[in-house]
Amino acid sequence: MNAYTVSRLAHEAGVSVHVVRDYKVRGLLRPVARTSGGYGVFDAAALQRLCFVRAALEAGIGLDLLTRLCRALDTADGDEASARLADLCHLVERRRQALMNLETQLIELAHSTSEISA
């Protein structure tokens, strides 16, 4: 098992230790073990989740929704986790469509602006 301290996990994901600690408090990340000194130890799945959360935030997904999803994934309630994942997939699809529409409008605006300048 790859063992990660908070600082190593933060370094590997390219975030600050404050972000990792905040996500731990929110329930987005959970240590899989503790050292004899009481420090949390994380595994590769935590690194994967941290990278997922960062990507989702970059895509405009809110922390509240991500927290609910992660908590559902961490429980034995597969139905709740599946429902949360489906909701997130639908949200991502709606945002993707909105971004495609915006891109089309930006292209049209750029063309009309260049025609005015000519």
What are the extents of the domains in the chain?
Answer: 6-117
CATH of domain 6-117: 1.10.1660.10
> Can you say whether the dihedral through the CA atoms of 98, 99, 102, 104 is positive or negative?
negative
Provide the percentage of residues in the chain whose pLDDT is more than 90: 85
User: What's the DSSP call for residue 14?
Assistant: T
Q: For the chain, how long is the longest CA-to-CA vector?
A: 72
pTM for the model? 0.82
**What pLDDT, in 10s, does the model give residues 58-108?**
999 999 999 999 999 998 778 999 999 999 999 999 999 999 999 999 999
Amino acid at the residue 52: F
- For 23-70, give the DSSP string: HHHHTS---SEE-TTS-EEB-HHHHHHHHHHHHHHHTT--HHHHHHHH
